[in-house]
Amino acid sequence: MKIQATLISFVVFILLLAALPAWAMFSGNNHLLIPHFWAMFAFITGLTLLVVVALLVTQKINPENYAQTFLAVTVFKLLVSLAFVVVFILKNKVEKTIFAADFFYLYFLNMAFEVYVLLRNLRNQNLK
């Protein structure tokens, strides 16, 4: 998968991912979003962008290490996300169920996009 196509897919994915919270915010369902939701959205989106860029760079430099890089950046993202959760909960008073729902909505859908990129790139390697 080409770098430009992957980044365009990422932008489209992020716009689709932001649509549901934006709808909740503008339709008066603010109780479904935690305070500072968009900060958490930007943080997890930024981490996902770092993961995607690391995967694309690895694919260009050394395609044999692609799967190992995916595992390494996934562990990195998990640990950084857990640290973010701890700091976020200590700094902000949030309702636990709403926070968990918002966090997992962002984290798991971003993880699904990373897996999509992984599968697309591995499929392209098999075609060569």
Q: What is the pLDDT of residue 124?
A: 60
Q: In this structure, what DSSP letter does residue 80 have?
A: H
Q: What is the pLDDT of residue 1?
A: 55
Mean pLDDT by 10 residues, the chain (128 residues): 84 95 88 89 95 89 87 94 92 89 94 89 63
Q: How many other CB atoms are there within 10 angstroms of residue 39's CB atom?
A: 13
Q: What is the pLDDT of residue 127?
A: 54
Phi, psi angles (nearest 5°) of residue 85: -60, -45
Tell me the CA distances in angstroms from 20 to 15, 24, 25, 55, one per residue in order. Answer: 10, 6, 9, 28
Residue 102 contacts residue 33 (beta carbons within 8 Å): yes
